[in-house]
Structure 1
């Protein structure tokens, strides 16, 4: 009898497999194929072409001539490249913590039981995310213009000295950080709100019963549970800051002069304004390598903390 039951089991499994509809297999494969094709067309293809151009002297017209590692040798001897890279890293190091702190603070405020009109507040804070970076840059340029800006006008009203927002490199970088924080807070805020909603209230209630203060509950319960979301926000913020272009272009154009010219702007000017496609492609490959290294380091650091 047992042998009969055992023998019947495979036949039942086979029958279930035969009853599987063809669409249950074809539809997932179709979606995977579409994603794979788009990935190849918009990432692998341009990436491979850029890698090829980085070994040539291509200038946008004519046939590219193979030059080997000449572009990379020129790149690593270019002082302007190091200046641009240093300014990009400075902007990243300064802006990412500000983005995280502001987004987390707003998320805590909007998830607090004492806050009223939370839905309206979320919509208001989300509006900057819907504005194009070009438009956002123009808005902040109007606000912080030296001769026509609203901020300097308000300074004159209260008898304060006006500031050189456009001709001082450090002040121009400060305005850029403020504009980037204003435009990028909404997305990070939503991530933190979702993470805060998923924290069990029983943890906080138990800690409150045990006599933990609000700051102790935040630093010892809330913040550790937010670490995965914090890691995602820092990673995305770092990659986004290293690739910042549209906001910088609209706000100060990398100025004054080239003091606030970032990596992507340097690639744009070299490739499209100077028609040095090969050299710009080499800079792009170096930037991609830097981003990959940053992502790997952050992921290894996060994994090491998980193991700890």
Structure 2
């Protein structure tokens, strides 16, 4: 694949049992480990692929030492809880080629490879990734509902990356960037390599998926202008705080004519802004509508619990539709 380019009877009610969907889970870290305990009814988890296993109190679940071993089971559903890596990319492509349904939170890969979703749909399979944008904030679900009601979305603006809030608020208290990043890592918000959060890559990938859901347009993530927290002038966040303001990493997309304009910028916001109140792992997104009031969405955007809950929601919807 190339990147870009209920039964009823008049006499008595009839109980219909849904068929169990055979699934495998790829990855069992913070998100995957939480998801195992939240899987909806109608899913039979046949195996978990992990690189390094540690006891998580998950009973007698079958543990596999590779992604290929999991996919060799020919599952009907592949649940991807891997980090963005070559194994995850290869696994998603293989799952789609094999005709499996897919539920993923892997925004970086999904943004770069729109053919994955297209091919799955051509095969009549579901390819769901609500957790990839907003974590526990229902951004893509709300966009889908608005589109179904014929509402025209004109703009999307939001804080899409909770790690950026954490780091920027530490800077506002006078901490050095290196210290702020270490604190974010210790709190479980930042990865060992925090580049995607600091440089706006994570937010840019989420803008790509948002534009795809809103308008069916595929943007190249590399084409999205972005401003890095590393380039923030020393003392600027602290100066803003003294003036009652906050600096936030804000992603914007707007449809104009036949095109879509997108950017990730650092902006200073006042107490009257919804983004001022978005803190720590929180996300906040404003959907602008043509001829109607906008829609404001806020909530926890990062962490194992909100991400796993969003993925479980996708799985539940899939089971209900396919049962």
TM score, norm. by length of structure 2 = 0.20
Does 1 or 2 have the higher relative contact order (CA < 8 Å, sep 6+)?
A: 1
More helix by proportion, 1 or 2?
1
Q: Which structure has the larger Rg? A: 1
More strand by proportion, 1 or 2?
2
